[in-house]
A and B are shown apart, each in its own frame.
Chain A
Amino acid sequence: MRRLRRMVSSFPRKREPSAFAVRRPASKAPGSRFRGKDGKMIALFVACSLLACTLAHAIDPLPFKDRAEELRFQALTKQLRCLVCQNESLADSNAPLAADLRRDVFEQMQAGKSDEEIKAWLTSRYSDFVLYDPPLRAGTVLLWFGPALALLAGGAAIVVIVRRRARAATLAARPASNVEDDW
């Protein structure tokens, strides 16, 4: 519970009003104009599309040099975790901290830093937690090779079981062939 409350409190109220303030009228206004079932559906559709609009624009516009730089920025921020809404990437998150970090990532790109350098800058502050792709370390060996190990164990189990059954089947078949010979 405390955790939940803290999650809520990770959003500064004043600093970024646009994301919330703009969205509210969008979902209210069309509802009053349309009546009936169809009207409601249309209103819902309009509200949803408007919502999508404001969401897309809530992500701060950055002055990219060219399309390639923008693509690089998007690819990089998609690999990074927002520390506030942890199931969102830095690219998608509306949290003020994510906006700050996007700005920092952008500035470092402008300064000529490589993706690896930017990631190192972030992990030195927020640990590997900030990376969606966990690096191979002593502590992550099981994470990386655990599935392969489970697959190997499963495969070995299947081989053992199949062999045992095959042996049992041939043992069972032999007396039967003897009986056949008697015919």
Chain B
Amino acid sequence: MPSRLLPFFGFVLVFALLGFGIWWNQSHDPREVPSPLIGKPAPEFSLPLLDDPGKKLGSADLRGQPYLLNVFASWCFACREEHPILMQQGKELGVKLVGFNYKDEPADAKRWIAQYGDPYDVVIADYPGDVAIDFGVTGAPETFLVDANGVIRYKYISPITPEIIATELLPRISLLKKEVTK
């Protein structure tokens, strides 16, 4: 009697396995590189400002207040998709928005910002891309939320959307602000 049901159980098992595979692949992006840096101090850096390469801004200067580090470049198409959202909601985030210009010609980056607008409080330029490697950046756009102590609390790969701001960024930012006032 049970041996007659055995093929059926086999089928159910295989079905469950394949179903789990489909669900697993839909529920997360298998291409997304998980960041081991979350919960760890952001790498020390000091990079020239895009507008004034003589001046530098570093991780030490940014300490004391949480900030959002947004990796972008003029060669990055997806950044153009993200940019209007930063323009609209960047100021409402309640944290300093630091633009991280990644492997970009300064002239191109400046033209890009002039054309599409400047949502950033400050833009630093990583032309060689070394600091980006320390941050584990794999492309643009990517966004890091760093707390007042310089610890990376959250990372988002691909363009920021209003949903991501509402569901992921704003709750974390308000938590960080409470931490600061503590």
Contact = CB atoms under 8 A, between A and B. Distances in A.
A137 to B, nearest CB: 13
Interface of B: 3, 29, 31, 33-37, 73, 75-79, 81, 103-105, 108, 128-130, 133-136, 138-141, 158-159
Given A2-B159, A6-B159, A84-B139, A125 B134 contact: yes
A123 B139 contact: no
Contacts of B129: 96-97, 100
B79 A9 contact: yes
Contacts of B29: 3
Chain A contact surface mostly: helix
Contacts of A164: 3
A17 to B, nearest CB: 11
Interface residues of A, number: 29
Given A3-B158, A6-B139, A100-B130, 10 more contacts: A9-B75, A9-B78, A15-B103, A83-B138, A96-B129, A100-B133, A125-B135, A126-B33, A126-B138, A127-B35
Q: Nearest 9 CB-CB pairs, A to B?
A: A10-B139, A83-B138, A125-B136, A9-B76, A13-B75, A9-B77, A6-B78, A127-B36, A12-B75
A97 B34 CA distance: 17
Interface string A59-91: 000000000000000000000000110100000
B28 to A, nearest CB: 12
Interface string A137-180: 00000000000000000000000000010000000000000000
B36 A123 contact: yes
Nearest to A82: B138
Contacts of B104: 12, 14
A8 B133 contact: no
A125 B75 CA distance: 24
15 contacts: A2-B81, A2-B159, A6-B76, A6-B77, A6-B141, A9-B76, A14-B108, A84-B139, A96-B129, A97-B133, A100-B129, A104-B133, A125-B37, A126-B36, A126-B136
A16 to B, nearest CB: 10
Nearest to B107: A14
Contacts of A2: 78, 81, 158-159
Contacts of A83: 33, 138-139
Nearest to A13: B75
Contacts of A127: 33-36, 136
A123 B34 CA distance: 10
Contacts of B3: 164
